[in-house]
Structure 1
């Protein structure tokens, strides 16, 4: 269930009964809940796949070890009556009538991380929420070791097989869909985690083309000469400081008829950001390998839309550039002309993302989409306002709220933010139509959204998703999220595409 030539996910199978043999070294994942008080031992959640003897053995073993059933707690025990090597009990917290999908996703991810080195997993969490269980296991098991030598590469095997126990009639189809979604997220993670020495604009474009063509997408790539000829001043201006020239990639999924809705996707693809002449501090600059996280998610999403055969048209427009300081780099005070004719005074070359995005947004609007979603690691102000895990969503009020709601439903938890009209005054220039930054240090995330709004065509419902923090986890792993690229907001954008396909 992988998206060749991208991330290769584990093989997922579904069965309604626990096999009596053949599981060998597999580990069985069983959900448990905490007792009525802190001293009580965990209890196995009602489970149609285990008989009373097996449940009793699990609970006795957990009690003997003093295990707890708090949310995301894990305990591994031996259960001789079951045809598996061991059982991993994973806590759901207090017992309740229903368990949220995000909780199942997180505990599945925790289980996968706890079982690092296990090739085969059998999970009963599918009975609580099959899709969340599959997504969590695949994403929790994700690892990126392409650049490890034999000396430091993981010695243990990666998770290769997931068996989901579920009794729903549509379980197989749901598992395939969930695996495809998780694989798309993992593909976006792979892009983000690939170092800039190996993922520069031309190489990024080649990989995007390969993914698109493998899924039957129409693909168009503009090189630096074509960009200059067509007037993409923002992309050319940002990219001209680097010896590795910029690209614009277009990936097109034609899934609908004449009356089908069209959704444009735009993602920031800065393969590395030094800040240009307005150079960044050295500390943590290596995290700018993630500055193409928006582009990575957009590419993964349009490929997923094609794989799922969504009955709408999805057109991804992805600008790619490397922002470097050199004798040819643009300078603070330069004026460039964005694609479409708006002139911009570049007051700060480290506010480069909005320059390449503006070009791409104008081009995307030429396709006359009904909706446009743009996503980018755009502003450090996003993390100041919302922290490292909560994307900010700006744009047309109704569509902004729709995107935020769907994002919260899938666990990526974007939050709607305003675009105050008065902030446009902060972008006035004395020599051009606009300046690329505000003279104020306040509301930086919103000011960037106001800038992008200037390039969205009238009548297009649009949303800008700032993922500066959420696209890249610089801390320790949590839930189904490891260190490095997270793949956010791939699941949000796909949820919106499905919602548009279903409801217009």
Structure 2
């Protein structure tokens, strides 16, 4: 899909679909007023007649509106003018784009970004409007002989600007388009079934990224991992016939003297739980257990697409977790790359076992900061639902950066405590630590485990178990937290508005 900006008067805009916001009460947006006047009061009449009330979430398609060059008007409700917030504004964008996608329109002009919203700058609204359009237009029906949804005919979205388009505005649209590409990659990888998206498949995708953007790419095989002492990661891989991979990608667009930010993504391409096998219900969703890996690859795609001036390293430890005859047993003890020993009490707590070796490996880059991203604990879903990502870390400024980035993109994260009091729950009588801490505070004790491998640098952990995918009849990967991570890196590179 192509994205661009455009200015002018609504009545002069030639398009298949012109999106206009309508308030339930209060002064109407400037673009809506202008279109209403040019169409001899069409919008006002629709409201007076009760055909369209402007309530949040409502929409109406008007074909061949008098006095306008647009083939269709897409009227979308904004609610009361004095109650407009970022949530309602985003909902209006989604409602409008979904209405357009239900037509045969091949292009659309969206005027909603010209409406002032508390907490969102002009550039942020432009960027977000692009991201929301990409989010709504996304489809994953590669494996259906008959697509489950109407094919997307919309191939161009123009974001209307009230005044003359500036470089900052065009940059915001370019950035939004790059984030869409990153989210699409993340969603595609997440939605692929486990028999296709294997560790080898992820490694090949990494190679494609490297070739496209001129990145350094290193794929470590099992023998190299053994030589490095990654016995914690390899313990998870023992039950699978699929060979594990350890993926390292380097994007160097910052100063040579700048320390890199390192993103580590959990890449369990299918998680049965191993010997501690999961219940059968909804186990198909465990193909999403590599969404941490998918999101850091998607973030790299976005960063490279917008040519962000920063040094970034992406690390993906990836394997299946299967209950084969060679699988690790509960009670087994392994030695991690750091030299610390781990008693594996539950083989379904495998994500932390592959991440800990990756976090140790990250030390060699002398990083400015390390952020790991993982569908790590069901406890996080219980605590925060599917609204917020869990956030913990050993460095308050870094944690605050990530929380701020999440708020700015509505890809929110919420901090949980990482107090030493919880560390005692990981005690083992036979090893340096156990890989689980018991029933209570599961998200926190998982992060406590990871924190033992992050003493050398500022570190934060994002638990995306509740936000990486949605369940139900429309289940699928969300692309989160690509917007959060990209905004965080934009701010680090001095490019956030």
Offset at residue 35 of structure 1 (A):
2.2
Say if 2:31 is the partner of 1:47: yes
The aligned length equals 479
| 2:151 counterpart (152, 156, 176) | 156
Counterpart secondary structure, 2:95: helix
Q: Which residue of 2 aligns with 1:250?
A: 248
| 2:468 counterpart (462, 468, 471) | 471
Counterpart secondary structure, 1:192: helix
Counterpart secondary structure, 2:258: coil
CA distance in 2: counterparts of 1:201 and 1:502, whole angstroms: 34
Alignment of 1:34-433 (within 5 A): 34-35=24-25, 44-47=28-31, 50=35, 52-54=37-39, 56-78=41-63, 79-96=65-82, 100-117=85-102, 118-128=105-115, 129-149=125-145, 151-166=146-161, 167=163, 168-170=165-167, 171-395=169-393, 396-433=395-432
CA distance in 2: counterparts of 1:190 and 1:320, whole angstroms: 17
- The CA RMSD measured in Å over matched residues stands at 2.2
CA distance in 1: counterparts of 2:414 and 2:40, whole angstroms: 42
TM-score by length of 2: 0.91
CA distance in 1: counterparts of 2:357 and 2:240, whole angstroms: 19
CA distance in 1: counterparts of 2:364 and 2:138, whole angstroms: 38
Counterpart secondary structure, 1:375: strand
Offset at residue 44 of structure 1 (A):
4.2
Q: Which residue of 2 aligns with 1:480?
A: none
Choose 45-54 or 317-326, whichever is displaced more. Answer: 45-54
Q: Which residue of 2 aligns with 1:4?
A: none
Residues 195-248 of structure 1 show CA distances to partners (whole Å, capped at 9, x for unaligned) of 112101101110122123211211111122222222211221111211111111
Answer whether contact 1:106 1:136 (CA < 8 A) is retained: no
User: Structure 1 pair 102/132, CA: closer, same or farther in 2 (3 Å)?
Assistant: farther
User: Structure 1 pair 20/492, CA: closer, same or farther in 2 (3 Å)?
Assistant: same
User: Structure 1 pair 83/207, CA: closer, same or farther in 2 (3 Å)?
Assistant: same
| 2:18 counterpart (28, 38, 52) | 28
Offset at residue 308 of structure 1 (A):
2.1
CA distance in 1: counterparts of 2:41 and 2:30, whole angstroms: 12
User: Structure 1 pair 260/111, CA: closer, same or farther in 2 (3 Å)?
Assistant: same
Answer whether contact 2:10 2:35 (CA < 8 A) is retained: no
Offset at residue 141 of structure 1 (A):
1.6
CA distance in 1: counterparts of 2:150 and 2:138, whole angstroms: 15
User: Structure 1 pair 71/476, CA: closer, same or farther in 2 (3 Å)?
Assistant: farther
User: Structure 1 pair 55/111, CA: closer, same or farther in 2 (3 Å)?
Assistant: farther
Offset at residue 62 of structure 1 (A):
4.3
CA distance in 1: counterparts of 2:44 and 2:470, whole angstroms: 36
Choose 121-130 or 461-470, whichever is displaced more. Answer: 121-130
Q: Which residue of 2 aligns with 1:40?
A: none
CA distance in 2: counterparts of 1:372 and 1:157, whole angstroms: 38
* Structure 1, gaps ≥5 residues long: 1-9, 37-42, 478-482
* Structure 2, gaps ≥5 residues long: 116-124
Offset at residue 310 of structure 1 (A):
2.2
Counterpart secondary structure, 1:236: helix
